């Protein structure tokens, strides 16, 4: 058995029972950011070691709980790239790679039953690798640019979802600062999450 084989199942949050309407929606788009920021799709094999090292840093072990070895990450990243549910990205600032982000189809995710999901909804998970950037408040600068690009690229997307752990006060503060609607705390299989939605318009706030 290889390192990648040991990672299975690699996408535990992806729903297997979905409607044809949800299944027909394509994979999330790649955000386009103006300099000094840059967004690129992950290379599963070339980037797995770097992402693994990031996720083993104490602040991301606490926030993500994904302190896995490179082999696990190769399988997990490869599985995202092989399907239409989620896409993994690396964000850079002035040429320095600083963050790992996942953009996923919320209607295909385990959060979907927790609110009135729409097939074109997107969700975002973000991990800022360098604590120096975290302490400089890079998330409130970077994430609004990502959100604006996603809404521009996806005219049918009505809202962008966030689901931080309920204890993650930093992530929750960013969601609230960005103007997200709070949809309550929900018990999931392995954690309790705080669910937020950033609507395109006030009418797009989900129930």
Q: Give the model confidence (pLDDT) of 165-183 as tens digits.
A: 999 888 898 899 889 999 9
Q: Which CATH superfamily is domain 28-157 in?
A: Gcn5-related N-acetyltransferase (GNAT) (3.40.630.30)
Can you tell me which residue has the tokens 């120096």? 132
Domain parsing of the chain, residue ranges: 28-157
- In whole angstroms, give the CA distance from residue 81 to residue 75: 10
Output the pLDDT for position 132.
Answer: 76
Catalytic residues: 163
pLDDT digits (tens, 9 = 90+) for 77-93: 999 999 999 999 999 99
- Rounded alpha-carbon distances, angstroms, from residue 35 to 39, 53, 91, 92, 95: 10, 26, 11, 10, 10
Q: Does the pLDDT at position 138 exceed 90?
A: no
HSE-CB of 137 using CA atoms within 13 angstroms: 7
CB contact set of 159 (below 8 Å; sequence gap of 6+)? 118, 121, 122, 197, 198, 199, 200, 204, 205, 206
Res. 7 pLDDT band, cuts 50 70 90: very low
* Mean of all residue pLDDT scores within the chain: 90
Nearest to 124 by CA among 10, 2, 18, 29: 29
Q: Does the pLDDT at position 8 exceed 70?
A: no
């Amino acid at each position: 058995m290889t390192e990648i084989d040991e990672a299975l199942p690699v996408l535990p949050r992806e729903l297997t029972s979905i409607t044809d309407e949800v299944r027909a929606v394509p994979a999330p788009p790649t955000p386009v950011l103006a300099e000094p920021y840059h967004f690129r799709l992950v290379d599963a094999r070339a980037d797995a070691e770097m992402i693994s090292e990031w996720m083993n840093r104490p602040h991301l072990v606490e926030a993500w709980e994904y302190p896995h070895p490179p082999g696990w990450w190769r399988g997990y990243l490869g599985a995202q790239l092989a399907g239409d549910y989620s896409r993994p990205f690396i964000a850079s600032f002035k040429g320095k790679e600083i963050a790992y982000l996942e953009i996923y189809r919320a209607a295909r995710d385990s959060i979907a039953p927790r609110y009135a999901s729409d097939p074109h909804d997107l969700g975002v998970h973000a991990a800022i690798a360098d604590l120096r950037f975290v302490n400089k408040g890079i998330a409130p600068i970077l994430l609004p640019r990502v959100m604006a690009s996603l809404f521009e690229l996806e005219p049918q997307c009505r809202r962008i979802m966030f689901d931080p752990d309920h204890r993650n006060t930093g992530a929750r503060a960013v969601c609230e600062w960005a103007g997200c609607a709070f949809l309550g705390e929900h018990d999931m299989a392995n954690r309790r999450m705080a669910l937020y939605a950033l609507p395109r318009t006030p009418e797009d706030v989900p129930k």
